[in-house]
Structure 1
């Protein structure tokens, strides 16, 4: 399929995990992709992957930026318009479950950091993008989480602020969808469950840097089989496929939706025994 030929897609956090998978999915269907991220190494890796998959380098724009910085939104929009001339889709994917070096999960420092990344930056970029999206009848997709719908399944309250931020993000999705519907802009949330991405380093019980991502995933295997009815992690590609569908004209009547992609976690019949 080539559903995104001549369309321009901005993806925050597009340099790893679900964001990288979405960038590849959009690019392989003809989109010009703008990848926003902080880490130079993973940005370069993402560029190399896209080129290896046959994506032309002129259809890729890398913007190394911290979305919580004061001038980030202007930089992202200005560089996108300068190179590609328009914006069709905004994917607010960048998000964090915690902050490196902060171990007190009830600290206001942690609260402020999570809210700034997961919510404030999304609001700022989305609102500033509206005039551009109105011109193209475009759409916004916010990457939320099942944590917005159910408390942390570890049961220790460690990710309270993360859950709060994602719940607020879902309400922002609905409210913004109502606000911009008359402008022919669609807004939706996609709420992944347990997906095999680097973010699960943060959720792993073992925080040592001496073990690999694969070892951390294996460590969580028993937990995943007990909590996910489909008995496995979701894959980046599975979530990315859902993102590209919702962003496409095939979903042109869908707005204000909260779409769960979690392997059945939220419909499991009873709390498992850990």
Structure 2
């Protein structure tokens, strides 16, 4: 799948799925824009991209800040003159239950990054994607479709469900312009999302810690491969769809 001369923005690109996806797009010839709050991590991803592909544009930004979101699009267009793919990947996790004392503060912080920022980034990117007949991929979660009693993630799950439906609405609106919009919903993935959310060291989960019907959890490269496929012309008939990669978690 060649993405030669395509311009791709990836939010939350400092680690995990975002970092791996950036490296994969760079390897396929894309001009990649990697976005995140921790510039040091982005520089490390930049170096990995440069080993096999083009050197990406690094933008240190907090997508939950409207001015930062505008700057991401402006700097991308200023450097490359176009935008072909937006991957709304950035996300945080806040553990909560409906009886938690801090549920509303958890909801507000999750809302800003996990839903509001994705909506605003899509709003800003859409005019440029219409020009290139590009596409948008929103990274959701199987937690937006099912519940895990052992994980108190009321706000996170509700917002991922909202992101799924947002995707369908935007797909319907932008289809007339040739812009595709899809969702990818991973199950358990070997990333440090939870550690990042709590400012703690990496808490990567192992196959032994998380039980799935296939007896394993996904590697970020598997999700990156799916993202590249959905973003490519091989998936040009697909829009408004939700692609689940969960090793059978939803069968449980």
How many pairs were matched up?
Answer: 249
1:194 corresponds in structure 2 to 188
SS in 1 for 2:137: strand
Q: Answer whether contact 2:9 2:87 (CA < 8 A) is retained.
A: yes
1:98 to 94, 100, 105: 94
CA distance in 2, matches of 1:202, 1:208: 5
1:65 aligns with 2:61: yes
User: Is there any run of 5+ residues in structure 1 with no aligned partner, and where?
Assistant: 269-274
1:121 corresponds in structure 2 to 117
How has the CA–CA distance of structure 1 residues 48 and 165 changed in structure 2, closer, same or farther, with 3 Å as cutoff?
Answer: same
Q: Answer whether contact 2:28 2:53 (CA < 8 A) is retained.
A: no
CA distance in 1, matches of 2:140, 2:18: 12
2:160 corresponds in structure 1 to 166
1:39 aligns with 2:38: yes
CA distance in 2, matches of 1:79, 1:166: 28
Structure 1 length normalisation: TM-score?
0.86
2:232 corresponds in structure 1 to 248
CA distance in 2, matches of 1:16, 1:186: 26
1:56 aligns with 2:54: yes
CA distance in 1, matches of 2:171, 2:45: 31
Instruction: Give how far 1:105 is off.
Output: 6.7
**Root-mean-square deviation over aligned CA pairs:** 2.1
Instruction: Give how far 1:198 is off.
Output: 0.8
CA distance in 1, matches of 2:27, 2:143: 30
SS in 2 for 1:217: coil
SS in 2 for 1:126: helix
CA distance in 2, matches of 1:157, 1:25: 31
The superposition leaves residues 127-185 of structure 1 with CA deviations (integer Å, 9 ceiling, x where unpaired) of 1111100000000000000001101x2x1462110001100000000010001110110
- Give the ranges of 4+ consecutive aligned residues of structure 1 lying more than 6 Å apart after TM superposition: none
CA distance in 2, matches of 1:112, 1:213: 24
Q: Answer whether contact 2:15 2:192 (CA < 8 A) is retained.
A: yes
Larger gyration radius, structure 1 or structure 2? 1
The superposition leaves residues 58-77 of structure 1 with CA deviations (integer Å, 9 ceiling, x where unpaired) of xx100000001120221011
CA distance in 2, matches of 1:20, 1:180: 28
Structure 2 length normalisation: TM-score?
0.93
Q: Answer whether contact 2:12 2:35 (CA < 8 A) is retained.
A: yes
User: Is there any run of 5+ residues in structure 2 with no aligned partner, and where?
Assistant: none
1:14 corresponds in structure 2 to 13
1:139 corresponds in structure 2 to 135
1:28 corresponds in structure 2 to 27
CA distance in 2, matches of 1:159, 1:202: 16
Instruction: Give how far 1:18 is off.
Output: 0.2
1:271 corresponds in structure 2 to none
